[in-house]
Amino acid sequence: MSLLSPESRKMSGVIFITVPSIIYGGYFLLGVISGQHDYLNLTDFQKAMFRAGHAHAGVLVILSLLVLLYVDETELSSQWKWVIRIAFPLSAILVSMGFFAAATGNDLHKPNAFIFILYAGMIILAFALVLLGIGLLRKSSTR
């Protein structure tokens, strides 16, 4: 017997396929930190934002996979379950993209206007967390 519904299993497959992009980001970041990309003339702020973007991508992708173990246990409609399944990996993309985009440019020492992408990802993540929590609490109260 599978722990996941067919929908969650498919979403897991899609999420796993994205992990090599995070691996490549780590490889690039290692090059930045070790000085192999000094020609980019990145500021300490930009390096810190790139590290944060990479770390958040990894953690939020793991959370996206973990959520798939819980979403099928909720007392939510199939449409709301799909919202949760999509919202978590979407937030991983937007949050990490927000860190990278907000640090893109020459000689930056503070976030540029693209920081809104990070905030959009945070809002989606918070919404999905609350929705999942409500769905799980509704399930436990109906027993």
pLDDT of residue 1: 65
**Per the structure, how many domains does the chain have?**
1
Q: Is the residue at 95 inside a domain?
A: yes
pLDDT of residue 2: 77
Question: pLDDT of 82-113, one tens digit each?
Answer: 999 999 999 999 999 999 999 999 999 999 99
Q: What string of DSSP letters covers 39-101? A: GG---HHHHHHHHHHHHHHHHHHHHHHHHHHHHTTSS--HHHHHHHHHHHHHHHHHHHHHHHH
User: Domain containing 30: what range?
Assistant: 7-141
Q: Is the residue at 105 inside a domain?
A: yes
Q: Is the residue at 43 inside a domain?
A: yes
Q: Is the residue at 70 inside a domain?
A: yes
Q: Is the residue at 2 inside a domain?
A: no
Q: Is the residue at 1 inside a domain?
A: no
Instruction: Taking residues 54-83, report their average pLDDT.
Output: 96
